Structure 1
Amino acid sequence: MRRFVSAVLTLCLVAVISRPAVADEPKKNVLFIVSDDLNCSLHCYGHPKIQSPNIDRLASQGVRFDHAYCQFPLCSPSRSSFLTGLRPFTTKVLTNPGQKESPHFREAVPDHITMPQCFRQNGYFVARVGKLYHYNVPNGIGTDGLDDPPSWEYKFNPKGRDKAEEDKIFSLVPGQFGGTVSWLAADGTDEEQTDGLGATEAIRLLESNKDRPFFLAVGLYRPHTPYVAPKAYFDRYPLAEIELPALSDLDRSRTPKPAYGSAKKDQDAMTDDQRRQAIQAYWASVTFMDAQVGSILDTLDRLKLRDRTIVVFTSDHGYHLADHGLWQKQSLFENSARVPLIISAPGMAGNAKGASTMAELIDIYPTVADLCGLKAPDSLQGTSLKGALQDPEYQVKKAAFTQVQRGKNPGYSVRTKSYRYMEWGNGEEQLFNLADDPLEARNLAGLPENESAVQTFRTLIADTLKKDAPAGE
């Protein structure tokens, strides 16, 4: 009997030893697409007129975050923040280059491992196409901009017809295109534009790297000013069908003053006809940008990469289109701080649904690292959103924080499901119940019955500043 048992054990051991080893599960790829100056004017976010079929398609295949917010509504501070996973008061990047002194984040955190750098250190092919870190648009198109070389193995700086034909662009300030409202219904094809060239290169990189793990970051320049797109996209939005937003008494009086500190005289002087033309051009640029996203996603499908590729789509911040009487960014109001965020990860139970949790752009880094099984730096100040990808009702966090700078005085905002609270360096405060007042028309901060709520929000901001402050501060 003992010999029989011994023989059986021997056979089992041989079988285990001789069994073919199970291959390691292939690494998940990451396709990270960032639009520039895009608010939530997308069909999948409920806009009744915007045509965004490709981003809508992505939302139907992933999780759409309905309450996602940037940490600073300006290009360089925001991009430095979400690519490092650190808040702006940690990176010390609070302005764009050219706006007084604007440091590179490496000056404050020289040894920090960025999101693409984390993937690069884990054996991924890591590439940048277009604008990821700050670029002066359109002056910096075709250059490296304010790049971070350790982040990338390969880079590509597209430069298209829109850059060559700047003399044709209408601008509120002649000769100036990036800092003010400007637009052009362009001749030629999508492929001739800077974003068209970027999409073409992204497609080439997908084709040539389909058999190895990759982190491909594609930075699209539109709808950033100048709003340039081929004429056919303008034709989709007749001027007669564009309604201008209504202004509240607070908007007309511009109180408190710091809340409207992003206003510019040239934009204030626009006629209603110019406002409609500008909105038409912005919408046209959104739909043009969406078409480039579609070309990239089609390639992902054609190469059969979707079942092992995480796709993230977002913007660096939101954007005003005459709402609150403002244009562009750098305010703490909803349309400036809120961003679209769609994460399509294979096998997530929440795909094709909208997530209700509050989310911040600094959450992207820990999320994609988590999904790919990578060890992210302990110093990251965001939180993985994986729980919300599995269950869209799961609440990852209850509040999102955004900040701006008004000279030497900062402005801070906290957004919860129903409320937005803002505090300014001069002591002024704002509180809006967005559940009842989505246009942010009634400031509730000065009412005695809201003092307790205001104090709660003050504490939330103070605690976040203290918790996430760098050591020694």
Structure 2
Amino acid sequence: MTRLLALAALFLATGPAAAQDKMNVLFVVSDDLTNTALGCYQGRAKTPNIDKLAAKGVRFDRAYCQFPLCNPSRASLLTGLRPDTLRVYENATQFRRNVPDVQTLPQTFRRAGYYVARVGKLYHYGVPGQIGTDGLDDPPSWERVINPRGFDKDDEDANRIFTLNPKGKGSARFGGTLSWLASAGGDETHTDGMTATEITKLLEANKDRPFFLACGFFRPHTPYVAPRAYFDQYPAADITLASVPAGHRAAGPGPAFGSAKPEQEAMTDAQRREAIQAYLASVAFMDAQVGRVLSALDRLGLANRTIVVFLSDHGYHLGEHGLWQKMSLFENSARVPLVVHDPRAKGNGGVCRRTVELTDLHATLADACGLTAPRTDGASLRPLLENPAAAWERPAVTQVSRGTPTTTGEVTGKNPFFMGRSVRTERYRYTTWDDGKRGEQLFDYEADPGELRNLAADPASAETVRRMKALLPAAKK
């Protein structure tokens, strides 16, 4: 009934032809993607389709997630609310348990009469275990959902995937550690290939009415499974490994390196090269599926009235700082690729170097489409779409947890729960662990882009520490 009323209001208010005058949204999310893998960010993978989109739109060079873990980040970016507002810090809590009445980004479009659907992973799925299921989806957000299950799941079931943790169970075996396979399946038989196919079908079926379509690719999330042809593009012998200075980790603070896993630290250099090869192959495969979807937009005559957003839920380590995967507050983990192409924007073709957050997307897309959004913790990026160099005074805040929370919330025990909180401006990042009791970090990216010199205890940086600390929002209790 709500859907029918919304459509009737849209028709009566604007007339039968006006639906085609509204801007559509194609919202594309990649899983566990680092900027340093994309060609448009001077990365190592061959990503011509994402690069082409970035050249047409605005590429955000300093975009940051709010929590470098799938469930907290996705709940945050799809609501526009910070993890401390949602109180979601791990991969088990569905956000409506804590904030039952929140209006999500897709709901904002659904309530405005748009056709709203998703294919693949938007809210959290356990990968690869929950591929083909709803995972921790949010039913009020969508009127249709499609959960592809491809040949990569057959590889998993047949035990063909190599993993550093063969004795692990559930997500720890493949998704929680490094795993990879050059698969025999073709592009369209894999889950991401099937996702591109299903999104194309939805574009074809809904091209004559306003839509918000969300496309959630699983790659390059581990296990790094892609057709063999993509592996052949990146010979393992040619892979360069990250250089980590001696004593870097020992210099601490310890929690900054708390995401390290024993099996990853025991890898040989040959395994490290194979892992990076597989990751780059998965990125290139995902890019090819993005290309299929964007080609469908062009073929259907939708490109000039569709806002396309491409992003990842968080960044990723490939050996930098001696770390792999996510859950750190270094740049590799907190920084995300973000490209927005609004065909009407004056800033298209530009690069924005302002610090922005994924919480900004709800307000941005509602603003760009003339819709009323609920109050969020973000701000509309529309001024930066018009002028990527426009004044912008908002820093980016990212947090991550350490330890295990108890059911009653206390932070004592063998593995106490505490938070790391980090604020990024265009020049500096300041991080505090357990409100400073377990260490602080300050990095100056003009002098130290690799984050190798912690200035937090340097007397000459005391005033910078004070200013940066003041930018951290108070945690919600």
Q: TM-score, normalised by structure 2?
A: 0.90
Deviations 1:421-457, CA, capped at 9 Å, x for gaps: 1100134100111111111111111111111111111
Which of residues 208, 211, 222 is equivalent to 1:211? 208
> 162, 169, 185: which one pairs with 1:170?
162
Distance 1:273 1:254 in 2: 27
Change (3 A) 1:225 1:254: farther
Query: Could you report, residue by residue, the CA deviation over 1:346-370 in whole angstroms, capped at 9, with x for unpaired residues?
Result: 1111111101211100011100000
Q: Distance in 2 between matches of 1:335 and 1:396?
A: 23
Measured after TM superposition, the shift of residue 418 of structure 1 is 1.2
The one-character-per-residue Cα deviations of 1:207-230 (angstroms, maximum 9, x if unpaired) are: 000000000000000000000000
Q: Which amino acid letter does the alignment assign opposite residue 161 of structure 2? A: I
- Within the candidate set 291, 310, 314, 1:313 is matched to 310
Residue of structure 2 equivalent to 1:184: 181
Q: 372, 383, 402: which one pairs with 1:406? A: 402
Residues 19-60 of structure 1 deviation map (CA, whole Å, 9 limit, x = unaligned): xx996471110000000000102110112x320000001001
CA contact 1:90–1:108 (8 Å) conserved in 2: no
Aligned to 1:143: 133
Residue equivalent to 2:411? none
CA distance in 1, matches of 2:304, 2:393: 28
Give 1:188 deviation, angstroms: 2.1
Distance in 2 (alpha carbons) for counterparts of 1:46 and 1:207: 34
Q: How does 1:42-191 map to 2 (within 5 A)?
A: 42-47=38-43, 49-97=44-92, 103-166=93-156, 167-174=159-166, 176-191=173-188
Q: What amino acid is aligned across from residue 84 of structure 1 in structure 2?
A: T
Q: Which amino acid aligns with 1:432?
A: F
1:386: which partner in 2?
382
Residue 445 of structure 1: which of 432, 456, 464 is its match? 456
Q: Which runs of 4+ in 1 moved over 2 A?
A: 21-25, 248-252, 395-398
Alignment partners' CA distance in 1, 2:236 and 2:391: 41
Q: 2:106, 2:142 within 8 Å by CA — same for their partners in 1?
A: yes
Letter in 2 for 1:172: L
Distance 1:295 1:287 in 2: 13
Q: Note the alpha carbon deviations across 1:122-148, whole angstroms, 9 max, x for none.
A: 100000100000000000000000010
CA distance in 2, matches of 1:114, 1:397: 26
Return the offset for 1:250. 4.8
Separation of aligned partners in 1, 2:361 and 2:247: 35
Aligned to 1:14: none
Q: Which residue in 2 is equivalent to 1:226?
A: 223
Q: CA 1:295/1:22 → structure 2, altered by over 3 Å: closer, same or farther?
A: closer
CA distance in 2, matches of 1:386, 1:230: 38
Match of 2:328 in 1: 331
* Secondary structure at 2:204 match in 1: helix
Contact 2:253 2:438 in 1 (8 A): no
Aligned to 1:460: 471
AA aligned opposite 1:409: F
Alignment gaps of 5+ in structure 1:
1-20, 98-102
Task: Give the percent of matched residue pairs that are identical in Structure 1 and Structure 2.
Answer: 59
Return 383-392 or 431-440, whichever deviates more. 431-440
Q: Do the aligned partners of 1:358 and 1:398 also contact (CA within 8 Å) in 2?
A: yes
Question: Does 1:302 find its partner at 2:299?
Answer: yes
Letter in 1 for 2:361: I
Aligned mates of 2:438, 2:240 — CA distance in 1: 36
Q: Which residue matches 1:424? A: 433
The alignment partner of 1:30 has SS state of strand
- Indicate the larger mover: 334-343 or 105-114: 105-114
State which of 264, 267, 276 in structure 1 corresponds to 2:264. 267
Give the Cα–Cα distance (whole angstroms) in 2 for the partners of residues 356 and 179 of structure 1.
32
Letter matched to residue 80 of structure 1:
A
Structure 2: which amino acid aligns with 1:116? P
Equivalent in the alignment of 1:248: 245
Partner of 1:311, secondary structure, is strand
- 2:120 partner amino acid: G
Name the structure 2 match of 1:361.
Answer: 358
Q: What is the CA-CA distance between 1:61 and the residue it aligns to?
A: 1.0
**Superposition deviation, residue 274 in structure 1:** 0.2
Amino acid at match of 1:170: F
251-260 or 411-420, which deviates more:
251-260
- Distance in structure 2 (CA, Å) of the matches to 1:254 and 1:298: 49
Aligned to 2:346: 349
Question: 1:308, 1:128 → 2: CA distance?
Answer: 19
1:398-420 superposed Cα distances (whole Å, 9 cap, x missing partner): 41000000121100001111111
Q: 1:22 to 1:113 in 2, by over 3 A?
A: closer
**What is the alpha-carbon distance in structure 1 between the residues aligned to residue 73 and residue 247 of structure 2?**
27
Q: Is the 1:254–1:260 Cα contact (8 Å) retained in structure 2?
A: no
- Structure 2 gaps of 5+ residues are 1-14, 404-416
Q: What do the CA deviations read for 1:144-203 (whole angstroms, capped 9, x no partner)?
A: 000100000000001001011111000001151000000000002100000001110000
Asked if structure 1 preserves the Cα contact closer than 8 Å seen for 2:249 and 2:257, the reply is no
Q: Larger radius of gyration, structure 1 or 2?
A: 1
Counterparts of 1:64 and 1:400, CA distance in 2: 17
1:361-413: per-residue Cα shift (whole Å, max 9, x none)? 001110000000000002x0100000000001013334100000012110000
1:75-124 CA distances to partner (integer Å, 9 max, x unpaired)?
00000000010000011110112xxxxx2211221111100011001100
Residue in structure 2 matched with residue 279 of structure 1 by the alignment: 276
SS at match of 1:168: coil
- Which amino acid is the alignment partner of residue 438 of structure 1? P
